Amino acid sequence: MNVTATLTDRYVETAMRTVPEKQRPDLAAELRASIEDQIDARIAAGDPADEAERAVLTGLGDPDALAAQYTDRPLWLIGPRYYLTWWRLTKLLWAIVPACAAFGVALAQMLAGAGIGEVIGAIVPVVISVIVNIGFWTALVFFIIERNVGGKDIALGAGWTLDQLPEKKERGAGLSDLIASLIFLLLAAGAVVWDRFVGLAYLAEGDGWMPALAPALWPGWILGLFVLIALEIALAVWVYLQGRWTPAAAAANAALNIAFVVPLLYLLTRDELLNPAVFPALLPAESAQTVMTILTLLLGFGAVGVALWDTIDAFLKARRAR
Amino acid sequence: MSETEALETHLQELRRGTIVLACLRLLRDPGYGYGLLEELNRRGFDTDANTLYPLLRRLEKQGHLTSEWNTDEARPRKFYRTTAAGRRLAGALTDDFTAIADAIAALPEEN
């Protein structure tokens, strides 16, 4: 039995496994001839036959890698041509989708009357599976593109232009930021006062304009709100004078957000925030309670979402401004 | 990466295109893979089978080489020959290589 011939046979056969059918006979014959030539050369130089064959085949290396080189097949999942496009898209999706999914699940669970533990228990697996799925499917799509467009460069990653340079990040401490903050805060204070004396909720049949906030909030809670608004104004001015967000300013902003959201949630959960006279007048009695619950949840989620975003944004600006 | 590894990588990159040029010029007379490999190494173009064979296939696919099986001898061999396009490419590469060599010669002295 000729053991040495078997090794070459096995090597050629293994290499041809991954070569397209129609290239196979040609490539196999050439590879075999090349291996035999190299073995002959080694034997002529004085090596024993089986050692020569082993040395030649070892020198050629992994047959699958060799076949890939012969046929110009990529040996990577996502190569340099699409890597940046893939990575940008994955990061973008990771930044958007899990947060939206978590928000949606939380809202749905709360509306269904779930407790806080249940809500968290429902969010965690959804967020994890969303992250993993985005990673997997995006990579799969690019893996397929990489292998099926051949040498053609489809417009995915092509055509980078100067317009794609990121804008210089806003520092969020300019005069326009100060003015925007002041206008917003004064409008908010004005709206509260207007609500008290004129009303923001309009009832077509009945009493006309009514306050949307519970009148019982006056004067204590509302006074507290005005103090918070005054502090927010002071913070906005402070940030403007420093010319940038500092970690201290961001921390103060976070504290103010907490000071605003916690009492708001407290009042919401006790049904003491909104004017109890509005809903029964606006809706049939049997659906008033449901609408109230949903509205309470939406308000709560909205407030927490905005406060969280504002807090994170301030810290990001502080980090950028260092 | 050690210094010798880095040296190896840089030398490999520097030589990569020169193997193409040498193949195109040597294959004006038809030649087969292993014979060409020996000829290249004899003439000072350090290369191995893993590099050479895929390179020949690529050049053939691009139309710079043609091939023909020779079955006259005991061991059938695939003979490659440079085409007209291949000769034009070789000319362009040679001109460029000369220009690079001149440019390198004009660089500040090495010390």
Look up tokens 């708001």; give the residue.
A264
Instruction: State the pLDDT confidence band at A204, using cuts at 50, 70 and 90.
Output: low
Backbone phi, psi, residue A46, to 5°: 110, 5
Three-class secondary structure of residue A169 per DSSP: coil
Instruction: State the pLDDT confidence band at A207, using cuts at 50, 70 and 90.
Output: low
> Residues of chain A whose C-beta is under 8 A from some C-beta in B?
26, 29-31, 33-34, 36-38, 41, 59-61, 66, 69-70, 72
Residue A244 CA to residue A177 CA, distance in Å, equals 11
With CB atoms and an 8 Å threshold, state whether B57 touches A70: yes
pLDDT at A161: 78
Segment A205-226 mean pLDDT? 78
Distances (CA, A) of B99 to A184, A281, B24, B87: 68, 91, 19, 18
Question: CB A178: neighbour CB atoms within 10 A?
Answer: 16
pLDDT at A1: 44
> Does residue B111 register a pLDDT over 70?
no
Average pLDDT for chain B: 91
Of residues A199 and A214, which shows the higher confidence score? Answer: A214
Question: CB B46: neighbour CB atoms within 10 A?
Answer: 12
With CB atoms and an 8 Å threshold, state whether B78 touches A29: yes
Asked whether the beta carbons of B40 and B79 are under 8 A apart, the reply is no
Q: What is the DSSP string of A223-266?
A: HHHHHHHHHHHHHHHHHHHHTS--HHHHHHHHHHHHHHHHHHHH
With CB atoms and an 8 Å threshold, state whether A29 touches B38: no
Residue A117 CA to residue A119 CA, distance in Å, equals 5
Indicate the pairing of strand B65-70 with strand B31-32.
unpaired
Closest CA to A240 of A176, A147, A154, A197: A176
Segment A133-157 mean pLDDT? 77
With CB atoms and an 8 Å threshold, state whether B49 touches A61: no
Q: What is the DSSP string of A176-236?
A: HHHHHHHHHHHHHHHHHHHHHHT-SEEETTTTEEE-SB-GGGTTHHHHHHHHHHHHHHHHH
Residue A156 CA to residue A137 CA, distance in Å, equals 17
> Does residue A238 register a pLDDT over 50?
yes
Whether this model's ipTM surpasses 0.85 comes out as no
pLDDT at A282: 65
Its pTM stands at 0.59
Asked whether the beta carbons of A165 and A132 are under 8 A apart, the reply is no
Which residues between 37 and 96 in chain B have a beta carbon less than 8 angstroms from any beta carbon of chain A? 38, 48-50, 53-54, 57-58, 69, 75-78
- Poorest-pLDDT segment among A181-190, A211-220, A304-313: A211-220
**Domains defined for chain B, CATH in brackets:** 17-105 (1.10.10.10)
Asked whether the beta carbons of A239 and A321 are under 8 A apart, the reply is no
Closest CA to A40 of A60, A55, A20, A61: A55
> Does residue B14 register a pLDDT over 80?
yes
Q: Where is mean pLDDT largest: A239-243, A257-261, A312-316, B100-104?
A: B100-104
pLDDT at A159: 64
pLDDT at A205: 62
User: Hey, CA dihedral for B35, B36, B37, B40, is it positive or negative?
Assistant: positive
> What are the chain A neighbours of B35 within 8 Å (beta carbons)?
37
State how far residue A154 is from chain B, nearest Cα, in angstroms.
21
With CB atoms and an 8 Å threshold, state whether A29 touches B54: no
> Does residue A2 register a pLDDT over 60?
no
pLDDT at B2: 81
State how far residue B11 is from chain A, nearest Cα, in angstroms.
20
Average pLDDT for chain A: 82
Asked whether the beta carbons of A130 and A98 are under 8 A apart, the reply is yes
Q: Specify the amino acid at residue A102.
A: A
Classify A307 in phi/psi space as left (phi over 0), alpha (psi -120 to 50) or beta. alpha
With CB atoms and an 8 Å threshold, state whether B34 touches A37: yes
Over the stretch A124-135, which tens digit does the pLDDT of each residue have? Answer: 998 999 999 999
Closest chain B residue to A35, measured at CA: B34
Over the stretch A59-111, which tens digit does the pLDDT of each residue have? Answer: 999 999 989 888 878 888 888 888 888 898 899 899 888 988 888 888 888 77
With CB atoms and an 8 Å threshold, state whether B58 touches A34: no
pLDDT at A132: 94
Q: Which two tokens stand for residue A256?
A: 């103010």
Segment B73-87 mean pLDDT? 92
What stretches of B1-111 show up as alpha helix (H) in DSSP?
Answer: 3-26, 33-42, 49-61, 84-105
> Does residue A316 register a pLDDT over 60?
yes
